Amino acid sequence: MLKYTAKRLLESLFTVILIVTIVFVLMRMLPSDLYFTEEQMMKLSPEQKTEQLQAAGLLDPMPTQLLRFYGHLLHFDFGDSRRIQTGVPVIKVIASKFTVSMRIGLISLAVSLVIGVLLGVIQARNKDKIPDHIGTVYTIFVNSVPPLVSYSLVLVFGARVLSLPSLYSTRNVGKSSILPIVCLALASIAHYALWTRRYMVDESTKDYIRLARVKGMTSSEIMFKHVLKNAFVPLAQYIPASLLLTIGGSMLVERFFSVPGMGTLMIDAINRYDTNVVQACVFIYSGLGILGIFLGDVLMMILDPRIKLAGGGSTR
């Protein structure tokens, strides 16, 4: 376990560094004029622009810029925002946005996990019956229809039928968060329902289930004491990743409902060429995703000690 953990942490660290390095280099390959606002482009002379670029270190050789970036990264120092909130440390800019995304993300994850697993259980218990067909139609619909279409349907129904706010508002956080939470949970509900049903159907055909029936256990006891318990083990692998990524926010959902979270911040930073904010957001997103995958593997092993992680000649 310790050997596996150390190995995976090193691999994860290398992956995150590789991702942020690629983004850093690509951002530096963009035209230097993007560093300046339209007003600055009109007022500053070529010599003044060069002086500002030199002061910012943007004219230094790429290896020098990378080494300086790695040094700041060790202290989680991403510099100051250049466009979003000029002169404000990037960490402070992200902190307020992260809180919004975390609240909406945690609620949507809880909703999707409860509803998705429950829907999967209902489908498995009613295999090839009407409830199973309804759940299958929902899963196919969510996975096949473009997200913007399903979000639009939720928006129209929520705003016109339920009279819910169509845009996020800091004055009415509770009600204005409902539609973003629903949209953020749609795909996850389908995912958890699909895999819960699949794993439960697979488990229900195994020999130990037949033995349980011979011993006189009821269908409900078999379903919840054995089938669901064992089916939840592989499903649990995706929970940490879902948790961390939803905390990071969804760019599309947040943009669609004007939620001032991480997703909206990332898009604004790219559009306004705020390189420091972009690099920080990429670092957070990639770190959360890789950490989620790692924690998913560990959670699987905790739930089922029979699962062996890499190392010592054993396999996962």
Q: Is 36 helix (H, G, I), strand (E, B) or coil?
A: coil
Please report how many Cα atoms fall inside a 13 Å half-sphere around the Cα of residue 111, on the Cβ side.
17
Cα 211 from chain centroid (whole Å): 41
The pLDDT tens digits along the chain (316 residues) read 677 777 877 888 888 899 999 989 988 888 877 777 777 778 888 888 888 888 888 888 899 999 999 998 888 888 888 888 888 899 999 988 888 888 888 899 899 889 998 999 899 888 889 999 999 999 999 989 988 899 999 999 999 999 999 999 988 889 999 999 999 898 889 988 988 888 888 877 777 777 877 777 777 777 777 777 777 777 777 777 676 656 655 788 888 998 988 888 888 888 888 888 998 988 888 888 788 777 777 777 776 666 555 444 444 4
Number of helices (H), then strands (E), belonging to the chain: the values are: 16, 0
Residue found under tokens 């739930």: 303
Q: Contact at 8 Å (CB) between 255 and 263? A: yes
At position 185, the amino acid (one-letter code) is: A
At position 86, the amino acid (one-letter code) is: T
How many angstroms separate the Cα of 13 from the Cα of each of 18, 74, 276?
A: 9, 12, 20
- For 21-37, b/e burial (b = at least 16 CB within 10 A) is eebbeebeeeeeeebbe
Q: What domains appear along the chain, each with residue ranges and CATH number?
A: 90-303 (1.10.3720.10)
CA angle 144, 286, 93 (to 5 degrees): 105
Rounded Cα distance, 188 and 183, in Å:
10
